[in-house]
Amino acid sequence: MIELDKIDLKILSVLQQDGRLSNLELAEAINLSPSPTLRRLKRLEQEGVIGRYVALLEPAKIGLGLEAFVRVMLDKRERQFATFAEAVQAWPEVVSCHAMAGEMDYLLRVVFEDLAHFSRFVMDTLLPHPGVVDVKSSFVLQAIKQTTALPLAHLVGGRS
Amino acid sequence: MIELDKIDLKILSVLQQDGRLSNLELAEAINLSPSPTLRRLKRLEQEGVIGRYVALLEPAKIGLGLEAFVRVMLDKRERQFATFAEAVQAWPEVVSCHAMAGEMDYLLRVVFEDLAHFSRFVMDTLLPHPGVVDVKSSFVLQAIKQTTALPLAHLVGGRS
DNA sequence: AGCTTATTGGCATTTTATGCCAATGCTGCG
DNA sequence: CGCAGCATTGGCATAAAATGCCAATAAGCT
């Protein structure tokens, strides 16, 4: 694993909150001058610790007020795992898809405008897909927490 | 809802992929000159369509190779919803928490280093929390899709 | 303590952001 | 069909930020 000292962790922590800080602002936030800050940042990007930067949109502002988790069961006899994985990439309302241990099914997180939209997605897209034998939907009542920030606490003490 | 024309959607689409593009690069990507590009961007930020920018870290690179979904059931008689919601904010390994319809339970997504870490989280943190009566964990075998990009297709045709 | 190596801070240069204004394109109406 | 009025754009000048370089500093090792 890559060596990360306290300064690196501070950089990561700050950028997980605001990925668009200028180098100057970042430098100030972590209490270091701009040049070494930039060098460290580049290294973190280079090493792949920072995978990417993204803008997060406000779902409600673009008419995506609803959200659901959908468990998808595939027929294990048909070998449709790959095509399903591929299809999932192409469905934009699917925000995440995880293969789960145990039941060997898939858990999708889906965002949508309204129930009609969701219904269309399930009826016209998901269920007709080859290998899909069953889906179980659970609607989100409330997002209590939703972050892209990963914990870093377990890394303190790695260096310096 | 805010009016978004095709150019706005292109901006959003591009920034959902790379939130750190310079205004110049963004302008080039959407085929518009820098000044109106910046003006539109500021408006989108102003209006809250773009909520924030973040750096996404690579979990594997910081020793967070494992992930699970945990269903938490609270005792409905105790009124612990608020304290639970609060506690969840403070637990860094909980990346998301949603109140689900139906069973009225909570679905957490949790990232961790290894099973020992997860075990500690469940045993020492989650289960002892007031009101928690049961938890059911499902481990992630594979992340098939994981995006922060929301669909925009439903907005085309809103203007211009 | 003294030597070696890694890291920092500050400066000069290049690149980018940003505010402003004239030019262009669109809309609606006569 | 053309013209007035409004909204949006493109380009330019200025301010701010990024970036590469080098001497100075700090940290690690014996």
In whole angstroms, give the CA distance from residue A29 to residue A95: 32
Q: Which of A51, A72, A61 is nearest to A135 (CA)?
A: A72
Confidence of residue A158 (pLDDT cuts 50, 70, 90): low
Q: Where is B90: in which H helix or E strand? A: helix B81-90
Overall residue count recorded for chain B in this entry: 160
Lookup result for tokens 């377990």: A154
- Residue A1: what pLDDT? 77
Q: Decide if B149 is inside a domain.
A: no
Q: Decide if A150 is inside a domain.
A: no
Question: Which residues neighbour A102 within 8 Å (Cβ) at sequence distance 6 or greater?
Answer: B138, B139
- Verify if strand C has an atom below 7 Å from the CB of A34: yes
Estimate in Å the CA B15 to C1' D9 gap, whole number: 21
CATH of the domain at A14: 1.10.10.10
CATH of the domain at A102: 3.30.70.920
Confidence of residue B28 (pLDDT cuts 50, 70, 90): very high
Q: Which of A73-82, A108-117, A132-141, B40-49 has the lowest mean pLDDT?
A: A73-82
Locate the chain B residue with the closest alpha carbon to A9: B62
Please name the amino acid found at residue B40: R
Question: Which of A17, A33, A55 is a domain's end point?
Answer: A55
Query: Within window 31-70 on A, which residues have Cβ closer than 7 Å to strand D?
Result: 34-35, 38
- Residue B18: what pLDDT? 98
Average pLDDT over residues B133-137: 96
Q: Decide if A156 is inside a domain.
A: no
Question: Which residues neighbour B6 within 8 Å (Cβ) at sequence distance 6 or greater?
Answer: B156, B159, B160
Lookup result for tokens 């602002």: A25
Q: What number of other Cβ atoms are within 10 A of residue B118's Cβ?
A: 21
Closest nucleotide to the alpha carbon of A37, via C1' = C8
Average pLDDT, chain A: 95
Average pLDDT, chain B: 95
Q: Which of B56, B55, B101, B107 is nearest to A144 (CA)?
A: B107
Average pLDDT over residues A127-135: 96
User: Are B15 and B48 within one domain?
Assistant: yes
Say what percent of chain B tops pLDDT 90: 89
What is the domain extent for residue B48?
Answer: 6-55
- Residue B80: what pLDDT? 87
**Total number of domains constituting chain A:** 2
Distance in Å from the first CA to the final CA of chain B: 16
Q: Model confidence over B31-84: pLDDT tens digits?
A: 999 999 999 999 999 999 999 999 999 999 999 999 999 999 999 888 889 999
pLDDT at A160 > cutoff 60: no
- Nearest-Å Rg of the Cα atoms of chain A is 21
In whole angstroms, give the CA distance from residue A44 to residue A12: 9
Estimate in Å the CA A1 to C1' D5 gap, whole number: 64
Q: Model confidence over A42-93: pLDDT tens digits?
A: 999 999 999 999 999 999 999 999 999 999 999 988 888 999 999 999 999 9
- Verify if strand C has an atom below 7 Å from the CB of A40: yes
Q: Decide if B135 is inside a domain.
A: yes
Coil/strand/helix, residue A53:
strand
- Residue B3: what pLDDT? 87
Q: Decide if A160 is inside a domain.
A: no
Read off the tokens for B16: 């959902």
Confidence of residue A113 (pLDDT cuts 50, 70, 90): very high
> ∠ CA(A104), CA(A93), CA(B50), 5° rounding?
125
pLDDT at B110 > cutoff 80: yes
Strand D nucleotides, any atom under 7 Å to a protein CB: 8-12, 16-22, 27-28
Is-contact A5 A160, C-beta < 8 A?
Answer: yes
Q: Model confidence over B141-160: pLDDT tens digits?
A: 999 999 999 999 999 875 44
| B101·A150 Cβ contact <8 A | no
User: Are A36 and A80 within one domain?
Assistant: no
In whole angstroms, give the CA distance from residue A155 to residue A151: 9
Q: Decide if A87 is inside a domain.
A: yes
Average pLDDT over residues B109-118: 98
